[in-house]
């Protein structure tokens, strides 16, 4: 099976702009989670989607949003970018049910730099 893919891999944006990141999960996986990785804060959970519904959300401001499509692909959007949003954004894919296991498989990430 193909792994989790994320596009774009690198992105440079200016403060105040908005950005949309995309994630395609492993075929058959219905759960997609998003994480932010920074040197200072480590890996922090943003939100999780399962069958197009947001099941859980982390402690990030409303500028961070996401959605999931019927084919399980997911996008996350960050509006009004701030310098502190510079990070590696990781997408993780999972079967998402107790019968199939909760392990999450990560994509390569999108490196976002805000200038």
Positions touching another protein (CB under 8 A) are 31, 33, 35, 42-43, 45, 48, 50, 55-56, 58, 90, 92, 94, 96-98, 101-109
Q: Give 1 or 103: the residue with its C-beta nearer to another protein.
A: 103
Q: Which residues pair with 77 in a beta bridge?
A: 20, 65
Is 60 buried (19+), middle (13-18) or exposed (0-12) by CB count in 10 A?
Answer: middle
Query: CB of 60: closest distance to another protein in angstroms?
Result: 11
Report d(CA 46, CA 58) in Å as an integer.
Answer: 5
Q: Give 48 or 81: the residue with its C-beta nearer to another protein.
A: 48
Phi and psi at 113, nearest 5°, equal: -115, 125
Query: CB of 6: closest distance to another protein in angstroms?
Result: 9
């Amino acid at each position: 099976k193909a792994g989790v893919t994320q596009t774009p891999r690198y992105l440079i944006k200016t403060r105040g702009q908005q950005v949309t990141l995309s994630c395609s999960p492993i075929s058959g996986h219905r759960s997609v989670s998003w994480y932010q990785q920074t040197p200072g804060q480590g890996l922090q959970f943003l939100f999780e989607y399962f069958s197009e519904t947001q099941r859980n959300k982390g402690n990030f401001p409303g500028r961070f949003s996401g959605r999931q499509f019927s084919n399980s692909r997911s996008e996350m959007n960050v509006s009004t970018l701030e310098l502190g949003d510079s990070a590696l954004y990781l997408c993780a894919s999972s079967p998402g049910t107790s019968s199939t296991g909760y392990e999450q498989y990560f994509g390569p990430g999108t490196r976002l730099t805000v200038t």
